[in-house]
Amino acid sequence: MDATKVIIDTVDRLRQRRTAPLVLELDLTEGLSDGPPSDPLSALLSMRKTSLTDVLSGLKRARKDSRVKALIVKIGTQPLGLAMVQDLRQAVIEFRAAGKLTVAFAETFGEFGAGTVPYYLGSAFERVYLQPSGDVGLTGVAMEQRFLRGALGKLGVEYQMGQRHEYKTAANTFTQDHMTDPHRESMGRITESVTEQIVAGVAEGRGLEPTKVRKLIDEGPFIGAEAVEAGLVDRMAYRDEVYDEVKQAVGDDALLLYVGRYAKGPIAKKLPRPGEETVALVHGNGAIRLGRSGRSPLGGGSAMGSDTVCAALRAARRDEHVKAVVFRVDSPGGSYVASDAIWREVVLTRKAGKPIVVSMGDLAASGGYMVSMAADAIVAQPGTLTGSIGVFGGKAVIGGLLEKIGVSSETVGEGANAGMFSSTNAFSEAQWARVNAWLDRVYEDFVNKVAEGRGLSRERAHELAKGRVWTGADAHAHGLVDELGGLQDALALARGKAGLAADAPVRVYPRLSPLERLRPADSSEDRTAAMARVRLEAWGPLAHLAGELGLPSYGPLMLPGGWTIR
């Protein structure tokens, strides 16, 4: 009898798992990854981290799944980029419009600290719960810039920097002690644009007037009880109380399932059938550099290697089953030469007759914009930071510092400019002329390619360039971006341009089997040439020089400063 009972119970449990209502969960405590791991170390570090792609595809499928009744999202304190938050908000709003219950739960939206962007995400849900001890740090948007000129001067360090043009403000950190007027103008407009987006989103989600939301922002941060009274939160509750309420709403027999697990589902539903026409999804994440993608084991995040991304685009272009490509770009820029190599592969993909659509993440600026601008279409979220079409370069002169600490140096060389990039002495007049010629060449090439790719006159492209950073909303208004939306919108656009069905499958490129991942590449045309690796250097053989000069780690087409909006 005992064995029979075990069998019956097992069968009942299996039947329940196939038929019971589902409540999807998403835990954002550790954030989300935007794209597949770029190298073995990243794969190890992100083993338990859910990807944005899985969440978006899972929620899209769940909208039409009658078993799925609700979504519970725990919003943690791990910062999420504004564009990623807007991708999630869009998916939640569409899930909610399908008649599903959506619930946001946070232990705190900033522990009596800044929490504007996390709360902005929470405001998209039908119900917002806050732990009784939590706070709502709805305080607005601020961007801070620190200037090192005074401190460096005391140390005997002088910076010789050139930039194209006045809005390319990365050098200002070292050469100024305050914001220039263009610097303040650019950052002021970004904070204004982002605030407009957050106010509109919170007002719509919480059923408040925009003027009321503006007033609340000026009054924040809020203690939990104050947030409930202001209509920002529905009620204060602990996790167990939240889950009990959801189960009461959808049925006590409901099963919990993480969105990421739901998205992957049965393998047969995930993989395209042999010979089926597909959309290729190529990811380009991190600062742009020559060589392969990867990350430093000493920190600094992932990097977009030109060899890796170019090989992936080539592989997708040459696959007869791939009918369109979506290039997901999330990058502050970096090496001009590496960016140009990727730009060329985008151009070749378009010339091959395969539509290529860029989906911009949180950042697609400077070199990140360069690799995007030749696509058939660019899709960005309103909060994406993009543009920054410009260049800077130069060096730190540390001769004074060395003298102060008793260090002397001598140079022996052949060639008038052999020691040009030494940080001991300043550029000569002739050497500075070469630096400026290089800056002019890079800027002209960048702007001319913007004009060509975006169908603008050179003069108009220059007006929109000058190193200025734009939000996606403003970039769209100026023609630097074609559509506002997220990754799913870019995939839909690519399917439409290729004449594919709305549910045509998506494959991440490069597609490599476990065996291919182990063997060395036969040539640069081999798909395995796109394999990423862990590496320490970023400027290649000039890494030591870049570090000595205090230059950004990844190159001259770099978004200046820190641009995280929280």
Q: What is the spatial distance between Cα 108 and Cα 410, in angstroms, rounded to a whole number? A: 58
What does the pLDDT average to over 113-132?
Answer: 96
Q: End-to-end distance of the chain based on CA atoms, in angstroms?
A: 60
Q: Write the pLDDT tens digit of every residue in 361-396.
A: 999 999 999 999 999 999 999 999 999 999 988 888
Which one has a higher pLDDT value, 128 or 562? Answer: 128
Q: Write the pLDDT tens digit of every residue in 282-300.
A: 999 999 999 988 765 444 5
The whole-number pLDDT of residue 538 equals 44
Task: Judge whether residue 447 has pLDDT over 50.
Answer: yes
Residues 311, 267: contact at Cβ < 8 Å?
A: no
How many helices (H) and strands (E) in the chain? 23, 23
CA distances from 379 to 83, 324, 376, 382, 473 (A): 11, 15, 10, 10, 11
Which phi and psi (to 5°) does residue 263 adopt? -65, -35
Query: Is 366 known to be catalytic?
Result: yes
Q: What is the spatial distance between Cα 110 and Cα 112, in angstroms, rounded to a whole number? A: 6
DSSP E strands, 192-264: 222-223, 235-236, 255-258
Distance of CA 134 to the CA centre of its chain: 28
Q: What is the spatial distance between Cα 332 and Cα 336, in angstroms, rounded to a whole number? A: 12
User: What pTM value is reported for the model?
Assistant: 0.87
In this structure, what DSSP letter does residue 158 have? E
pLDDT > 70 in the chain, percent? 82
Q: Write the pLDDT tens digit of every residue in 522-565.
A: 666 666 655 555 444 444 444 444 544 445 555 566 665 555 55
Q: Please count the CA atoms within 13 angstroms of the CA of 108 that sit on its side-chain side.
A: 13
Task: Judge whether residue 268 has pLDDT over 50.
Answer: no
The whole-number pLDDT of residue 299 equals 46
What does the pLDDT average to over 94-117?
Answer: 94
Closest to 310 measured CA to CA, from 87, 508, 43, 509: 509
Map out the domains of the chain with their CATH numbers: 17-139+220-264 (3.90.226.10), 148-184 (no CATH), 274-390+427-511 (3.90.226.10)
Helix 52-62 and helix 487-498, axial crossing angle in degrees, nearest 10: 70
Closest to 504 measured CA to CA, from 363, 310, 321, 351: 321
Q: Which residues pair with 387 in a beta bridge?
A: 365, 469
- Compute, in degrees rounded to 10, the torsion defined by CA atoms 529, 532, 538, 540: -30
DSSP E strands, 366-411: 377-380, 385-387, 391-397
Q: How confident is the model at residue 159 (pLDDT cuts 50, 70, 90)?
A: confident
| The pair of three-digit structure tokens given for residue 172, joined into one six-digit string | 């200002």
Task: Judge whether residue 129 has pLDDT over 80.
Answer: yes
Q: How confident is the model at residue 6 (pLDDT cuts 50, 70, 90)?
A: low
Mark 109-144 as b/e (b = at least 16 C-beta within 10 Å). Answer: bbeeebbbbbbbbbbbbebbbbbeebbbbbbbbeee
Which phi and psi (to 5°) does residue 21 adopt? -60, 150
What does the pLDDT average to over 59-86?
Answer: 94
In this structure, what DSSP letter does residue 538 have? S
The whole-number pLDDT of residue 437 equals 93
Task: Judge whether residue 236 has pLDDT over 80.
Answer: yes
The whole-number pLDDT of residue 298 equals 44
- Compute, in degrees rounded to 10, the torsion defined by CA atoms 173, 176, 177, 181: -100
Of 306, 366, 388, 553, which is the active-site residue? 366
| Helix, strand or coil, per DSSP, at residue 499 | coil
Handedness of CA 88, 94, 98, 104 (dihedral sign): positive
Residues 159, 177: contact at Cβ < 8 Å?
A: no
Q: What is the spatial distance between Cα 8 and Cα 78, in angstroms, rounded to a whole number? A: 44
Residues 77, 108: contact at Cβ < 8 Å?
A: yes
Of 168, 323, 395, 466, which is the active-site residue? 168
pLDDT > 90 in the chain, percent? 62
- Compute, in degrees rounded to 10, the torsion defined by CA atoms 69, 55, 78, 199: -70
Residues 39, 21: contact at Cβ < 8 Å?
A: no
Query: Is 168 known to be catalytic?
Result: yes
Which one has a higher pLDDT value, 468 or 552? Answer: 468
